[in-house]
Copies of this chain bind each other. A is one copy, B any other.
Amino acid sequence: MTDEWETKITKVTPNELLIRGYPLDDLIGSITFASGIFLIIRGELPSLAEEKVINAILVSSIDHGVTAPSAVAARTVASCGVPITTAIGAGILAIGDYHGGAGERCFKFLKECLQNRKNGQSLQELAAITVQTVREQKIRIPGFGHRYHSQDPRTIKLLKIADQEKISGVYVNFAQILAKELSDQSQKPLPLNVDGTIGAILADMGFEASTAKAFFAISRIAGLTAHILEEYTQRPVRTIIPSEAKYTGNTKRRLP
């Protein structure tokens, strides 16, 4: 009835833990958490360029304020008198196809386009025919356009770093050509958004599509923790109305 079960992740013996082969106590103090995340998912330590890009991706999704559905779910549940991990879990469950999920869907869309690319077809030609098709079929390409930000500052910075670190490849390249073509044909700005950008970069780094949602979760759990701790200071079971929260934190400041 049971399968032979194998695992390649972690070996635990008394007084020794090997993470993908490396003694955990060697890793502690030697690598950053971002490198550890890369190592445990991919099996190998990142290059310096990969580490820099992973840090950038993880910082970029850390929070999006009280109106994000994952923050609403986490705070609502925290308000009911449960342990912090139960509230974090509720926030993670809100990460779905329509919240933090566009990266995975964009990744898959780009992959399918590139797999169907004809011999000798330029990325520009592929983009033109793709946009024409989706417009005819009235399909919305995931990862393009944002209901709130017309020029998302996160996207611009992430693309700059991925280019500088020479991580950008055919996915990032094609995604940007697609964004331009999409905006041109639609005659309205439909730029690559932060989710689409992360999906394209992860594709160029050789990750699987489903990791896009996982990286969003790994990153956002930090913001959720902050929201839950803030909620714990409030009256239990209060009515949470995200759109009416007043920001009373630090005013804008520059990095030291």
Q: Are A246 and B5 in contact (CB under 8 A)?
A: yes
Instruction: From the candidates B10, B25, B223, B248, name the one contacting A154 in the complex (CB within 8 A).
Output: B25
Binds B, one of A68-76, A116-124, A169-177: A68-76
Q: Helix, strand, loop or mixed for chain A's interface?
A: mixed
Q: Are A21 and B249 in contact (CB under 8 A)?
A: yes
Q: A4-B246, A27-B59 are in contact. Are A213 and B252 (CB under 8 A)?
A: no
Encode A6-29 as 1/0 by CB contact (under 8 A) with B.
111111101111111111111111
Q: Are B80 and A252 in contact (CB under 8 A)?
A: no
Q: Are B217 and A150 in contact (CB under 8 A)?
A: no
A residues at B contact (CB < 8 Å) = 1-12, 14-34, 36-37, 40-41, 43, 45, 52, 54-56, 58-60, 62-67, 69-70, 72-73, 76-77, 79-90, 92-101, 148-154, 156-158, 160-161, 208, 210-211, 213-214, 217-219, 221-223, 225-230, 232, 234-256
